[in-house]
Structure 1
């Protein structure tokens, strides 16, 4: 069985905030377009609250594996599992079936806290802002574990609320 890398995709403010009131506390159209392009065709592992932010639908072109305690969750196009480990295993099988070269872990906070222990790559959109009233956070990135790779500075786009830096980190 071929090792398929596990990648975390996250947008995080300077103070670690990734969410507020069940949503992202910013509008970043530029980043959402990059997210779509980078995750297309890849199985995505997420928590139920992250799925909820999609407004009762799934994102097209990507299998969804949702970690939930609710064994009766029934959303079309979504597979449910009871743990991150089971989610990664299912996503691995889906990636092998489809030829996808990566598993995308896309949130939320608790899923990220667990996944950062096993992730091979972090695709981080650093949102150049301090979000005062955030309620969901991303764990600190340990430079002894992850090496800062490519970096792209992204000025505020027409439909963006903040400038960003897109950084790829790889496990050392």
Structure 2
């Protein structure tokens, strides 16, 4: 069942890579600003490792929902749940909630999310975490902005996808 208020936001290389050693693969200041603008004022859903990878948390002006299998763990400024179903229950009244990672959390939410805010970098990266479930046949492109990062010398795109 698709949850109309659940969106994923992810930065991904063309080979599906999204992370390495619990960190981002590339530093795109514009993408970080986009992430902040899109998610600000909303709930963000993530796994424990994604929370711990943030340089500082909780992120301002966002409700943090952390999924962890350890029922005894709590994180200051965050709501902790032990299942996707519990996370969905927490955000059922939100207009839009954002899944921000990591790889396993993306895979579990993929079948039920209605929208993806994708930053796609047009080159391959070495990684240990991939978003392998993304099938562009499942989606219509709502908008696209193609950009060039001068510092890193690669092209990337902001692509908003709506489930077909």
Instruction: Identify whether the pair has TM-score above 0.5, normalized to the shorter chain.
Output: yes
Alpha-carbon offset, residue 149 of structure 1: 2.1
The answer to whether the 8 Å contact 1:8/1:105 transfers is yes
| Equivalence for 1:57 | 57
Call closer, same or farther: CA 1:56–1:155 in 2, change over 3 Å.
Answer: closer
Alpha-carbon offset, residue 4 of structure 1: 5.0
| Equivalence for 2:129 | 136
Pick which of 29-38 and 52-61 moved more.
52-61
SS in 1 for 2:30: helix
Call closer, same or farther: CA 1:4–1:41 in 2, change over 3 Å.
Answer: farther
SS in 1 for 2:66: strand
- Structure (1 or 2) with the greater strand fraction: 2
SS in 2 for 1:120: strand
The answer to whether the 8 Å contact 2:4/2:113 transfers is no
Q: Please list, as runs of the form range in 1=range in 2, the aligned pairs for 1:17-166 lying within 5 A after superposition.
A: 17-55=17-55, 57-93=57-93, 95=94, 101-132=95-126, 134-156=127-149, 162-166=154-158
Alpha-carbon offset, residue 86 of structure 1: 1.1
How many residues are paired up?
Answer: 162
Runs of 4 or more off by more than 4 Å in structure 1? none
* TM-score, normalisation: structure 1: 0.87
Q: Which whole-Å CA distance do the structure 1 matches of 2:135 and 2:25 have between them?
A: 24
Call closer, same or farther: CA 1:127–1:57 in 2, change over 3 Å.
Answer: same
Alpha-carbon offset, residue 19 of structure 1: 0.3
Unmatched 5+ stretches in structure 1: 96-100
Pick which of 59-68 and 79-88 moved more.
79-88
Q: Which whole-Å CA distance do the structure 1 matches of 2:70 and 2:56 have between them?
A: 16
Unmatched 5+ stretches in structure 2: none
SS in 1 for 2:136: coil
* Alpha-carbon RMSD: 1.7
* TM-score, normalisation: structure 2: 0.91
Alpha-carbon offset, residue 162 of structure 1: 3.8
